[in-house]
Amino acid sequence: MSSGRLDIIGLGPGPERWLTMETPAILALATDVIGYGPYLDRVRARAGQKRHASDNREELARAYNALDLAADGAHVAIVSGGDPGVFAMAAAVFEALETGEEKWREVEIAVHPGVSAMLAAAARLGAPLGHDFCAISLSDNLKPWSVIEQRLRAAAMGDFVMALYNPASKARPDLIHDCFALLRELKAAETIVGFARAVGRPDEKLTLTTLAAADPALADMSTLVLVGSHATRSFEARGRRWIYTPRGSGTR
């Protein structure tokens, strides 16, 4: 059978209005849509289209399934929250493609960007990513705490603004507390911290605080944590508190 195609699509952090304009048309052409159940629920059902829901941790199995279907001629869309290349499905597909079956390499593949959670969270809070920043996943599924710790130390030493993804681990609920304990050793007490929960969704909750006062328990699986650099600032205008990192923040 002739090879089909695989579109790897970012659905953004939640609301439909934050989908890119190309996304609905690409989804409409798919014969098969694959994704983690809650992401799949955000895709409008279309007559004749098959939907394949799977569990959160089954990213490689999902990638194999998508490549198999596409290699047999299907037009497959695999969906991710946010951007598909940020702690998400695009990397899993390329891991599978590089090491997997030869026939998978005949599949036409495209990666379609989406609004990543850190960008949506930053926009809600002002412009905290206005100068050098980094993104770190706190998930210890695919890397040990020692690596997370090393990267937090390096980010603090470099005075990067940090966007922390996956702050809540069911398997290790104390991880976010360890993370804050470490940051409190490394960074000033008055460092600005933002918790952006369920950004763009009806249950969105934004909390601005300082590293000294931050309650790590505010960070659940739907939260993006922003930790400022020494230059990140906070002020009020029209009764609303904003944070931003000036474009020219220099050395300490």
CB of residue 15 to ligand SAM, shortest distance in Å: 9
The C-alpha atoms of residue 200 and residue 140 are separated, in whole angstroms, by: 26
The window from 25-33, 145-153, 216-224, 241-249 that contacts ligand SAM (CB under 6 A) reads 216-224
Number of Cβ within a 10 Å radius of residue 165 = 19
In the bound state with ligand SAM, the residue whose beta carbon lies nearer, of 38 and 246, is: 38
Is 191 a residue that touches ligand SAM (CB under 6 A)?
no
Q: Can you tell me which of 6, 9, 14, 227 binds ligand SAM, judged by CB under 6 A?
A: 14
Is 23 a residue that touches ligand SAM (CB under 6 A)?
no
The C-alpha atoms of residue 93 and residue 61 are separated, in whole angstroms, by: 10
In the bound state with ligand SAM, the residue whose beta carbon lies nearer, of 76 and 135, is: 135
Closest CA to 224 of 81, 56, 52: 81
CB of residue 48 to ligand SAM, shortest distance in Å: 28
The window from 42-50, 174-182, 215-223, 233-241 that contacts ligand SAM (CB under 6 A) reads 215-223
Is 78 a residue that touches ligand SAM (CB under 6 A)?
no
SS3 for the chain is CCCCEEEEEECECCCHHHCCCCHHHHHHHCCEEEEEHHHHCCCCCCCCCEEEEECCCCHHHHHHHHHHHHHCCCEEEEEECECCCCCCHHHHHHHHHHHCCHHHHHCEEEEECCCCHHHHHHHHHEECCCCCEEEEECCCCCCCHHHHHHHHHHHHHCCCEEEEECCCCCCCCCHHHHHHHHHHHHCCCCCEEEEEECCCCCCCEEEEEECCCCCHHHCCCCEEEEECCCCCEEEEECCEEEEECCCCCCCC
Is 7 a residue that touches ligand SAM (CB under 6 A)?
no
Which tokens is 134 given?
């980094």
Is 245 a residue that touches ligand SAM (CB under 6 A)?
no
In the bound state with ligand SAM, the residue whose beta carbon lies nearer, of 137 and 210, is: 137
In the bound state with ligand SAM, the residue whose beta carbon lies nearer, of 166 and 249, is: 166
The C-alpha atoms of residue 184 and residue 10 are separated, in whole angstroms, by: 34
Q: Can you tell me which of 43, 93, 107, 117 binds ligand SAM, judged by CB under 6 A?
A: 117
In the bound state with ligand SAM, the residue whose beta carbon lies nearer, of 32 and 83, is: 83
In the bound state with ligand SAM, the residue whose beta carbon lies nearer, of 217 and 221, is: 221
Q: Can you tell me which of 34, 70, 78, 86 binds ligand SAM, judged by CB under 6 A?
A: 86
In the bound state with ligand SAM, the residue whose beta carbon lies nearer, of 76 and 199, is: 199
Is 113 a residue that touches ligand SAM (CB under 6 A)?
no
Interface ranges with ligand SAM (CB under 6 A)? 13-14, 80-83, 86-88, 116-117, 121, 165-167, 196-201, 221-224
